[in-house]
Amino acid sequence: MRYLLPITVALISSLSVVADEKRPIVIGVEYAYPGGAKTFAQTGVPMAKPYPDAITWGEMQLGPGLPIDFTQMDRFVTEYQTAGFKDLVLVLKSKSRWASVNVLLNPVPRPQFLDEYGAWVRAIVERYTVSSRSPMPGLRRSVRYFEIGSEFSSFEPEPAEDYLIML
């Protein structure tokens, strides 16, 4: 367990920016990886977020109009919910060889693929919502947190105005 701490990064997400509201601060594991849920669960934190580049749009959907492969995201959700994590943050990375403006420097979808990008985001939100028409089989609770991109920084360096397009 003592070796776990250096690789565990606390994800602190305030649910409110208004100081007088009494909402909890949620702390969890960031950069969680497949196969690590049981070990990370020993920390007692209630939330987990996968390593951002582990699951991207371009890996989930290999081309426009092609089916979305939820296998990796399903595996993460199932593993971490089974291990007892109450909340998950799913990172919606638009990185795609076929749709991004520049797969390395600007992962924002090109204009002609914005509808496909929107459909991908909707499909994920629907799949990980218990009350949706087609939830993931075995989903224990709805995922409440989705992150568009992973970090607005040099890690994902698109210009701010391009990032806003994805929102």
- What confidence tens digit (pLDDT) does each residue in 22-33 have? 777 888 999 999
The letter for the amino acid at 167 is L
Query: Is it the case that residue 7 has pLDDT exceeding 60?
Result: no
Nearest CA among 55, 50, 42 for reference residue 88: 50
pLDDT classification of 76: cutoffs 50, 70, 90: very high
Q: Is the pLDDT of residue 82 over 80?
A: yes
Using an 8 Å Cβ cutoff, are 99 and 113 in contact?
yes
How many domains does the structure of the chain reveal? 1
Domain housing 37: 4-166
107-112 contacts: CB < 8 A, separation 24 or more? 107/149, 107/156, 107/158, 108/158, 108/162, 108/163, 108/165, 108/166, 109/165, 109/166
Phi first, then psi: what are they for 148, rounded to 5°?
-85, 115
- Model confidence, pTM: 0.83
